A and B are shown apart, each in its own frame.
Chain A
């Protein structure tokens, strides 16, 4: 299972291995990883191997984040509100993968409804990073990241509203890719913030990400924000030729001079990042340092909180326990709903609902919600302007490796590095294609960098990531879990 999709496909076709064997191995590995990382809500022990066809994904096992509706299979969104919820339909992205013959083997743990970045807020408990069990994977696609990094299968599905695919990918040393908004149907994806939500995948190589998204994508009559991408062939477009491509990085984020209190880790991380830029330059890529309005950059986290909480408040108003979920106690519908929501949601989510409601209140809408939308627009416009000149934006992800789970509460509070932590949200503001790839290790922990390009330019973005990946030794790397359980918190 430490192979790429292409390799597995060849082995299946040559009958060196059967799909049944792959599925069995993935299930065994799932139980193993579950023991150390707590990465799954459901392991589908009755999963069977499938037919091998010409499709690269046929017969290959994969994982599904637990916010994709799967018909007949428990789908919880890692929330107590839906701890026994079994959908009556499957998400379009899942159906598309199943059409290609891929075999789902587990449902992965996440931050409750995707609202969190630590992998510690799901109703089944913390997800642990397979590289270091005391550390988080980040989130919200924590279980998918842990499972792919630990080699359970070559790919798992994630969703990304702020950085929920791309940050866990960095912290677990794998590839995380969310394509252009609307390329993959969101029908069946439990919504967090509809205008920011993206489907995507976590893999161990850029090529695998291309193969998976090629299968997931496509216009869908059930999601009116999808668009026709039949002329985009991500896998076939990967040729590694990036000469004459132009990238930029944002000075205010990636230049060490901005950080007066820079930690040794951050220094190392940025140094490593710039070293990787040189690898691209050697392949003929021009990379410029571009200054970006600091006011706009500093507004990113607040804009994200305003918009995502507001939409989330409304999106999750269907969770009342009246039609689905377990009925709350009470003499009237009001008390029933209140009881269900009070006991069902974690405090983190409830805090976000309060923020969202406050922002949407008539007297506050203009000040918070509408202004946040305006700043979103300004940031996106600026990015689109830069994309006229550049093929993409390249930036380091986070301040370094995965933080300790213990310290998770205080994490992301240092104001100096706040933008460095949150800049991936730009990709959600604009619906831009965005991919994180592993770029090295700091203190034994994987770190990543991210390339984000203009809408519909997915093939170009992936190709640049592919070219850089080729120059680094991290492709298809697998975390080896240190089995001393005491390491786990």
Chain B
């Protein structure tokens, strides 16, 4: 099987976040109750007309810019005509002639290497209604009808399932970073079509392309691609490559295989033509520039900065960029003057640990960076021990009170040299026998003395200072 290489292309559909649907005023929101976010336009009632949601156009253009695409001079839409119960108008408004972006590229971190993925186009369109099939009936839910959808089409430039999934994961992250989508696969906000072909290692001509429609999770994308590569390779090895047909298949989750839907011959002629009810809009350079200025630093760029400039480990940087809100939290800490490694450590160990345990998002997390700074500063100034710091961290969160409330003088570490010396000499005076044993080789008694000091000071003694002073004082006994 190794003598073949796979050629994979992706179509990634992503539901955009917006107040209203893309061509109607109905709310664009996920709702468990069916058919509540519906307007006459979404139902395709006779006489309705589409109106373009500019917010959606803006977001689509932002992604076009992120993907380094070429934008059209004029924005307009096309009709894709076909009959299906989930398509109220009998056509979908989409972009065929002039997508918001064509001929783009984006760098993707593949772990060991960075790959430049080529983008064929990205276009804005409306989603269909969703169907629920039962044994004797099918139900239609129009909440999704007209929801803005961005379809990203890559060139067939991936060579493995891993690359394809890394791309999808990264793009999901980019959508979230740019705040254009919640990109929640569980809510069906990301859906993929995959096309796969194989060819000999030295072949110049692409093999027969098989399309797998509507793969709804990245795990399934991974499985579907690998299954297809295996299926096609086995047929090719058995000299039965002519049985690999240019066709549309679907992924069957239960069996982990792909199944035939329709052949190329049965392909639907969508009879595309320009949507006459939406006039062409000029896209000015100034408008594009204003959108460009709102593009945040992307995850890969942030990672490079965290590792290169801030000295984080690749592992830590990867954890932080996995979530835009983590990255933003981290960067706020840096802006407040907290040391990068310290901030990363607190974020990854304490904060993420807490968030995971409580199953809440960092946005709902009480201890904002400026509050965290109160703890970190006190720790650095030696006012509190790291043990106390953790206690204050937990107390502050559970009581939702600023950490400084817990950093009272009462709690403060005893770092006063004379005060500690008094305690230490007193303890040593009362433990002559132990000192003797200590010098005879029972060195672990040192910890006993430290313990005594801590006990005496109710744990407030600065431990490192205690150790220094204890060493000095014990030396005095040795000399005696």
Contacts and interface: CB of A to CB of B under 8 A. Distances in A.
B51 A194 contact: no
Given A88-B40, A337-B83, A360-B81, A225 B277 contact: yes
Given A318-B46, A318-B88, A323-B44, A224 B269 contact: no
The residue among A91, A319, A323, A360 with the most chain B CB atoms within 10 A of its own CB is A323
A75 B279 CA distance: 28
A404 interface: no
Interface string A338-374: 0000000000000000000100111001000100000
A188 B45 CA distance: 9
Contacts of B79: 314
A187 B271 contact: no
Interface in A447-488: none
B271 A314 contact: yes
A221 interface: yes
Chain A interface size, as a band, is: 35 or more
At the interface, is chain B mostly helix, strand, loop or mixed? loop
Contacts of A82: 46
A318 B83 CA distance: 9
B301 to A, nearest CB: 37
A323 B88 contact: yes
Contacts of B273: 310-311, 314, 360, 365, 369
B278 A224 contact: yes
B46 A195 contact: no
Interface string A141-175: 00000000000000000000000000000000000
Contacts of B43: 323-324
B47 A91 contact: yes
B161 to A, nearest CB: 33
A320 B90 contact: yes
Given A194-B277, A337-B83, A88 B45 contact: yes
A190 B46 contact: yes
A222 B40 CA distance: 12
Interface string A185-225: 01111110111000000000000000000000000011111
B48 A317 contact: no
A259 interface: no
B49 A317 contact: no
Interface string A302-336: 00000000110110111110111000000001100
Contacts of A224: 49-52, 277-279
Contact of A318 (B49, B89, B271): B89
A141 B27 CA distance: 37
Interface string B104-144: 00000000000000000000000000000000001010000
A314 B240 CA distance: 42
A322 B271 contact: no
A187 B46 contact: no
A325 to B, nearest CB: 9
A69 interface: yes
B261 to A, nearest CB: 16
B91 interface: yes
A313 to B, nearest CB: 8
B34 interface: no
A85 interface: yes
A314 B91 contact: yes
Contacts of A75: 46
Contacts of B44: 318, 323
Contact of B47 (A189, A333, A361): A189
B422 interface: no
A322 B271 CA distance: 22
B271 A360 contact: yes
A193 B90 CA distance: 15
A452 to B, nearest CB: 21
B129 to A, nearest CB: 9
A319 B47 CA distance: 12
A77 B45 CA distance: 13
A87 interface: yes
Contacts of B85: 320, 322, 333
B271 A357 contact: yes
Contacts of B52: 224
Contacts of A221: 51
A462 to B, nearest CB: 25
Interface in A222-280: 222-225
Given A85-B46, A360-B273, A317 B81 contact: yes
A456 to B, nearest CB: 15
A319 B140 CA distance: 16
A242 to B, nearest CB: 33
B441 interface: no
Contacts, number: 102
Nearest to B24: A222
A404 B279 CA distance: 41
Interface string A63-90: 0000111000001010000100101110
Chain B interface size, as a band, is: 20 to 34
A87 B271 contact: no
Nearest to A75: B46
Nearest to B23: A224
A361 B43 CA distance: 26
Interface string B248-282: 00000000000000000000010101001111000
A87 B47 contact: yes
A314 B90 contact: yes
Contacts of B51: 221-224
Interface in B38-69: 40, 43-52
Contacts of B47: 67-69, 87, 91, 186-191
Nearest to B51: A224
Nearest to B50: A224
A4 B112 CA distance: 84
B454 to A, nearest CB: 73
Contacts of B49: 186-187, 222-224
Nearest to A187: B49
B265 to A, nearest CB: 14
B44 to A, nearest CB: 4
Contacts of B48: 187-188
Contacts of A68: 47
B46 A320 contact: no
A224 B48 CA distance: 12
Interface in B60-102: 79, 81, 83-85, 88-91
Contact of A87 (B46, B269, B277): B46
A89 B271 contact: no
The residue among A186, A314, A324 with the most chain B CB atoms within 10 A of its own CB is A314
Contacts of A318: 44-46, 88-90
B57 to A, nearest CB: 12
Nearest to A194: B276
Contacts of B40: 88-89
A77 B46 contact: yes
B269 A362 contact: yes
Contacts of B140: 322
Contacts of B279: 224-225
A227 to B, nearest CB: 9
Contacts of A69: 45-47
A336 to B, nearest CB: 9
Nearest to A197: B276
Given A69-B45, A225-B279, A337-B83, 5 more contacts: A75-B46, A87-B47, A223-B51, A224-B50, A323-B44
Interface of A: 67-69, 75, 77, 82, 85, 87-89, 91, 186-191, 193-195, 221-225, 310-311, 313-314, 316-320, 322-324, 333-334, 337, 357, 360-362, 365, 369
Closest 6 CB pairs of A and B: A317-B90, A360-B271, A195-B276, A318-B44, A194-B276, A188-B47
18 contacts: A68-B47, A188-B48, A193-B276, A224-B49, A224-B277, A225-B277, A313-B81, A314-B271, A317-B89, A318-B89, A318-B90, A320-B90, A322-B85, A323-B44, A333-B85, A334-B83, A361-B271, A365-B271
Interface of B: 40, 43-52, 79, 81, 83-85, 88-91, 138, 140, 269, 271, 273, 276-279
